A = this chain, B = another copy of it.
Amino acid sequence: MNLRQLGEDRLLEQILPRLARTPRVLAGAGDDDCAVLEFAGAGQLLLLKTDCVVEGVHFTSEAGPRAVGWKAMARPLSDFAAMGGVPQFALITLLVPPSKASRWISELYRGLEKSARAFGVAIVGGETSCIEGPTAISVAMSGAVERDRRISRHGGKPGDELFVTGRLGGSIRGKHLRFTPRIAEARWLTEHFRVHGMMDLSDGLGADLPRLARASQLGFEVDESAIPKTRGCSAKEAISDGEDYELLFAIAASESQALRHRWKTKFKSLPLTRIGRFIPKSGTRNQRLPRGYVHFQ
């Protein structure tokens, strides 16, 4: 059965009862004109992010709908990780051709749900609209961060050491659909260390590291041989491939040793690698990295 045959009301009847709720959800998907939610305490800041995956751009027509759902939710979650934030509520906008099998949509929601539940997020609303074109799924995420644990991109200082989690490159071979947003790692970092600047790697280290440096008006130098490469990837691929969804962050050199030691104990299966450091912007050793993924090209 496709969407045109099923109709919106019956689609919602299938999807809504399954959605995860949390005690903070006073009115969720389908309950009212807006979702109504208990926000965290006064010491918290509100975080908002929206991210979209489009068929043919972020996933192929052959990709399994559960994996697509996981990815659609995990992308904004990765941005929450980059802020040291706690994700809480998601709204889903689904644009699909009316000929789309309702089973595909149902499986997509299973993937969205799985990813949401894994990170304590409640899906509290959204919309399904028909479009004669490729399928697109947009997830708008809201959440909170403690005022004193907020990490911006702007706090870097010359001499700060640069770290990345995991291994870079080759995401297109499958990781781009199955990655784990580094929420737990980011929360642990901001609990125990002063992180001077952090972002998630979505466009490739070669595009994202210059952005992070620029945000603090700094230059950088990178030991290319130190960059942790996915098995089978060249250094160039590790730098240029997009969609790693790993964390890139800067921390004072004085904290670097303690960080490496404690990380190994805490996150045994996820490598943390020092790849370089921030230098003053006028530094003549500022490197040119191969550029990462650029949209519209």
A70 to chain B, nearest CB (A): 19
* Contacting pair A42 B41 (CB below 8 A): yes
CB 8 Å contact bits of A129-163 with B (1 = contact, 0 = none) = 11111101010111011000010111000000000
Residues of B close to A57: CB separation below 8 A = 129-131
Q: Which residue of B lies closest to A90 (CB)?
A: B48
A52 touches which one: B44, B82, B95 (CB < 8 A)?
B95
Q: How many copies does the complex hold?
A: 2
Contact count band on A: 35 or more
Pick out which of these stretches binds chain B: A29-37, A224-232, A235-243, A273-281.
A29-37
Tell me the chain A residues, 39-83 only, with Cβ under 8 Å from chain B: 39, 41-42, 44-52, 54, 56-57, 79-80, 82-83
Residues of B close to A141: CB separation below 8 A = 34
Residues of B close to A89: CB separation below 8 A = 46, 48
* Contacting pair A45 B39 (CB below 8 A): yes
Residues of B close to A129: CB separation below 8 A = 52, 54, 57, 136, 295
10 contacts between A and B (CB under 8 A): A3-B296, A6-B296, A7-B295, A26-B45, A32-B83, A33-B200, A34-B141, A49-B91, A93-B140, A140-B140
